[in-house]
Amino acid sequence: MVQHKSVLLEEAVKQLHIKPNGIYVDATTGGGGHSSEILKRLSNGHLYCFDQDEYAYKRSKECLDSIGKSYTFIHSNFIHLKNELLKLGVSKIDGILYDLGVSSFQLDMKERGFSYKQDAYLDMRMNPSQLLTAYEIVNTYSYEELVKIFYQYGEEPFSKSIARQIEKERMDKPIRTTLELVEVIKRSLPQKVLKQKGHPAKQVFQALRIAVNDELRAFEDSIQQALKLLNSDGYAVVITFHSLEDRICKSIFKNASTPHNIEGLPIMLEEEAPFELITHKPIVPNVEEIEENNRAHSAKMRVIRKR
C-alpha cells in the first residue's frame, strides 16, 4: 500500500487549538493523517472529513475507525463546504484545516496519471467520476487556451513553445500518456533548460492538474465559506504547496484581518477586524521534515483566528 506522510502534521493540529467538544473540518482528508490527530483530541466533539476522492475515503476510514467514531466522511469537493455541512445540521465550526495539493497516493498510483515519472493515461482527476481529464485538455484545447493554462497555473516561461509543439504533435496522433507528453515538452525546450536541475515537465503537469480540478477557484470559494462558518475563537489553518495557492490565502487572510472604513465616513473607525492574523509570515517545515519527506520542501502554512 502506498504510504502518505502528512506535512506539518503536529504544527497544523497545534494551530487548530482543538477543544475536546468542538466541531472541526478536515477539508482535504487524503490518507487521514491530519484527521487522525484531530480525532484523537476530541471527546464530545465531532470531525467532518471532506474528500472528493473515493480512494481517500477507503484509506482514511481504516485509520480513523481505529481511533473513534466521532467523525463523518463527506464525499465531496470542499467547494460545497457550507451546503454539505448544512445538510447535516452544522452551521458553525470551531476550526478547519486545508492541506492543499496532491496526496502521495495520488502521485504514486501511476494509473491516476498525475506523475511525470511514470507512464499512464493522461488523467489527473482528483474525483475519478468527473468528465474532464488532462487528455481532453491536451488534445482538444486551443493553442491560446493551453498557453494561458501553462503560464497562469504553472508559471511556465516556455508556455508558448510547449503549446505550439503540442498543437503540432496532436495533428498526427493524440498525446495519450504522461510520458508521451513529457517527450513533447522536452522537444519544446532549449538544451540549456533541459540541462538545468529539476524535471522539465513539472510546471506543465502542475498547471494541467490545477486546470483539470479547477483547484484555485475551488479553494478561494471554499476558504471564504469557511471564514463565515467559524465560531468566535475558531481557527482556519491552510497548508499550500505553490505560490498561486499561497497568494490567494495570503490575500484573503490579510483582507479579513484588516479593519475597513465604512463607506461615506471620512476617517477610519478604530474597530478591530473580525479576524486576527496569527501568522504574519508562513510557517514552513524544518530541515528534518524536509529530509524525511521531500514533498514538504515547498509547504507554507498560514493561520487565522475568528475574534
Task: Tally the residues of the chain.
Answer: 307
Whole-model pTM: value is: 0.92
The per-residue pLDDT for range 130-163, each reduced to its tens digit, is 999 999 999 999 999 999 999 999 999 999 999 9
- Fold for domain 109-213? DNA polymerase; domain 1 (1.10.150)
Class of domain 9-99+215-306: alpha beta
Q: Is the pLDDT of residue 1 over 50?
A: no
Is residue 226 within 8 A of residue 306, CB to CB? The reply is no
What is the reported pLDDT for 22? Answer: 98
The span from the first CA to the last CA of the chain, in angstroms, equals 43
Burial label, 132 (beta-carbon count in 10 A; 0-12, 13-18, 19+):
middle
Give residue 90's Cα distance to chain centre. Answer: 23
Mean pLDDT of the chain: 93
Q: Could you identify the residue written with the cell 525546450?
A: 189
The per-residue pLDDT for range 277-289, each reduced to its tens digit, is 999 999 999 999 9
Confidence of residue 107 (pLDDT cuts 50, 70, 90): confident
Q: Is the pLDDT of residue 57 over 70?
A: yes
From 247, 305, 236, select the one nearest 12 (Cα to Cα).
236
Angle at 128 between CA 218 and CA 25, to 5 degrees: 45
The per-residue pLDDT for range 21-52, each reduced to its tens digit, is 999 999 999 989 999 999 999 999 999 999 99
Is residue 158 within 8 A of residue 178, CB to CB? The reply is no
| Cell numbers linked to 206 | 502542475
Q: Is the pLDDT of residue 263 over 70?
A: no
Boundaries of every domain in the chain:
9-99+215-306, 109-213
- Number of Cβ within 10 Å of residue 163's Cβ equals 25
